[in-house]
Amino acid sequence: MSQDSPSPRQTGKWMMAAAWIIGMLLLTQLFGFWEDQQRNPNQTLRIVSGADGNEELVLQRNRFGHYLFTGKINNRDVEFLVDTGATVVAVPESMARSLGLPELGQTSMQTANGTTRATRTVIDQLQLGPFTLRDVNATILPRMNGDQEVLLGMSALRHLSFSQQGDQLILRAE
């Protein structure tokens, strides 16, 4: 055996190190998937037929007590956070730019953090599972925490009926 070729013991050590690295990468991905499912348990929407035969969207509450789910604004995927205390749908400013939402004038909004400047807009099409809403009044908020969630306020929810049963929120067409 030449001195340049690695010994079986050295090869075994390299293979063990590679196995540990691959194992750690797989565990990291698995944990990331689990964490994302805990934050948004409604990534795959559950649509059922109600007692009257009409479609219902059934949302599962996340571990923080919120209803977060994936929907669409103007045919682009977004995450909605149901907020029955919000008067209108609220979109983070950077997301509104990427969605191409029109700016229709300034207004002020009362938020949990006090009064803030906002921009009025109208969402052409808002899709919540099987329900499509058109021309929904909304606001663009420049200092909204997190650029990944849209607050789904009453300007959209008033077009639906909703009820809560345990850890589930059920939305129906009105």
pLDDT by position in tens, the chain (length 174): 556 677 777 777 777 777 777 777 776 665 555 556 556 888 888 888 888 888 999 999 998 899 999 999 999 999 999 988 889 999 999 999 989 999 999 988 877 777 888 999 999 999 999 999 999 999 998 876 656 789 999 999 999 999 999 999 999 987
Domain limits for position 125: 46-173
Q: Is the dihedral angle over the CA atoms 162, 131, 60, 91 positive or is it negative? A: negative
What distance lies between CA 69 and its chain's CA centroid? 5
Q: Are residues 106 and 149 in the same domain?
A: yes
Structurally, how many domains does the chain consist of?
Answer: 2
Question: Are 76 and 160 in the same domain?
Answer: yes
Rounded to two decimals, the pTM is 0.74
Same domain (yes/no): 125, 163: yes
- Residue 139 three-state SS: strand
- Judge if 114 and 35 occupy the same domain: no
Cα–Cα dist 132/134, whole Å? 7
